[in-house]
Amino acid sequence: MFPERLKSLRLEANLTQKQVAEKLNMSQPAYQSWESGKRKPGEETLNKFANFFSVSIDYLLGKTDNRKSDEINLSEFEILYRKTSKNLTEQQKKDLEEVLKEVLIERQKLIEEKKKTGWN
């Protein structure tokens, strides 16, 4: 499923294998081996493809037909938090953490409400 999804996404973007490879700093033969199914990508490569094509890894692997995950990747969240909080005081970091917790709790409530009402 992965090779087909990779090729489909590339074609949708009107890009050649060489163009994708160049944009992702890899060789065209390496890219071709993933698109043809001769090689299986590791986690780092999967992340590169998912980010480049703005889809979830689960979509790339054929685990879902939903292109974008509703859930934020924990590592993405950590990176965002670190970038956002790096110049803050300890108190500001604590305040930020509290606000983030509140936002996540509210978001989870909305998701649960959507599930109950059948609204997607």
Q: What is the mean pLDDT of the chain?
A: 84
Give the whole-angstrom CA distance, residue 30 versus residue 41: 10
**DSSP H helices in the chain:** 2-12, 17-23, 28-35, 43-53, 57-60, 74-85, 90-117
Beta carbons of 21 and 31 less than 8 angstroms apart: yes
pLDDT bin (cut points 50, 70, 90) of residue 69 is: low
pLDDT bin (cut points 50, 70, 90) of residue 72 is: low
State whether the Cα torsion 84-87-93-96 is positive or negative: negative
Span 49-66, mean pLDDT? 87
Per-residue pLDDT, 74? 58
Question: What token pair was written down for 109?
Answer: 């409530």
Domain ranges within the chain, ordered by starting residue: 1-69, 72-115
CATH of domain 1-69: 1.10.260.40
The single-letter DSSP state of residue 119 is: -
Claim: this prediction has a pTM higher than 0.75: no
| Highest-scoring range by mean pLDDT, 10-19, 25-34, 61-70, 84-93 | 25-34
Per-residue pLDDT, 119? 63
69 vs 33: which has the higher pLDDT: 33
